[in-house]
Amino acid sequence: MNYHWHWGVFFSSTGIGKEIYLDWFITGLGWTIAISLTSWLIALVLGTALGVLRSLPNRGLARIASAYVTLFRNVPLLVQLFIWYFLIPDWLPDRAQIWLKQDLSPSTSAFLSVVLCLGLFTAARVCEQVRTGIQALPRGQLDAASALGLNLSNAYHHVLLPQAFRIIIPPMTSEFLNVFKNSSVASLIGLMELLAQTKQTAEFTANLFEAFTLATLIYFVLNMGLMYFMRWLERKVRVPGLIALETK
């Protein structure tokens, strides 16, 4: 079996302008980070709203949020992505379609599909974490807030959510890391993020071991780094005396 190892491949020219293969990885990582952060923002806002809805005494609202979670958790991510990318644009009004398909570059419209898909997909998971966090708080917290004259929205804003978010830092970290990893599905609709760039490098240079090793290393280092950072953050913002935190 002949395989030509060549670790310097990342610094050799791609033949396109002055680019070297490492540039492809950097561009890819840029897309990966952009997708992850944007999707996470959507997931965080929507997921928190849904999580609050699920914890409210109002049955109807809780049921809507729970239906959302059931729907988005039981359909595979790739199916959702295909629906966002292939189907939904066709259902938009004509002007929006023209804007999406002609005015925007293919990468940008793919980016929009991926970000909406991942954001809404992850929101279902964030919702569950937020709800768990709120329900983990002692019942007395809400009662005490009411006794102080806070209405429900103020109680959530100033009392329940700030504590709940501290409790759920560890599961939320893994949700964010999941977004980061899941962003690789964007390669399947032609967005040149990290995995797609890796595949392209492997195909162009035939140095597939080197290319995939570098990609793996990037994912691994970023993941571990973020995990340790979040552990540090968790200790930093820990609420002293909160039982739910001490048992962790």
Partner 1 sequence: MDFSSIVAALPNLWQGLFLTLKLMLLAVAGGIVIGTLLALARLSNNRLLSFLAGFYVNYFRSIPLLLVITWFYFIVPFMIGWITGTMHPVGAFVSSLIAFMMFEAAYYCEIVRAGIQSISRGQVNAAYALGMTYGQAMRFIILPQAFRKMTPLLLQQSIILFQDTSLVYAVGLMDFLNSARSSGDIVGQLPEFLLFAGAAYFVISFVASYFVKRLQMRFAVS
Residues forming the site for partner 1 (CB under 8 A): 1, 3, 70-71, 73-80, 82-83, 86-87, 90, 177, 181-185, 187-188, 195, 198-199, 202, 208-209, 212, 215-216, 219-220, 223-224, 227
Q: How far apart are CA 157 and CA 153, in angstroms?
A: 6
Minimum distance, C-beta of residue 6 to partner 1, in the bound complex (Å): 15
Minimum distance, C-beta of residue 243 to partner 1, in the bound complex (Å): 20
Closer to partner 1 by Cβ: residue 61 or 202: 202
What residues contact residue 112 under an 8 Å CB cut-off, 6+ apart? 100, 104
Opening angle at CA 115, ends 81 and 169, nearest 5: 110
Rounded to 5 degrees, φ, ψ at 105 are -70, 155
Minimum distance, C-beta of residue 152 to partner 1, in the bound complex (Å): 30
Strand partners, 13: 20
Closer to partner 1 by Cβ: residue 67 or 96: 67
Minimum distance, C-beta of residue 149 to partner 1, in the bound complex (Å): 40
Closer to partner 1 by Cβ: residue 107 or 223: 223
Opening angle at CA 28, ends 23 and 33, nearest 5: 125
Minimum distance, C-beta of residue 44 to partner 1, in the bound complex (Å): 21
Tokens of 56: 């409210």
Minimum distance, C-beta of residue 77 to partner 1, in the bound complex (Å): 7
Closer to partner 1 by Cβ: residue 80 or 113: 80
Q: How far apart are CA 25 and CA 21, in angstroms?
A: 7
Torsion of CA 234, 235, 239, 241, to 10 degrees: 130
Q: How far apart are CA 132 and CA 244, in angstroms?
A: 11
Closer to partner 1 by Cβ: residue 80 or 163: 80
Half-sphere exposure of 10 (CA within 13 A, CB side): 15
Closer to partner 1 by Cβ: residue 129 or 187: 187
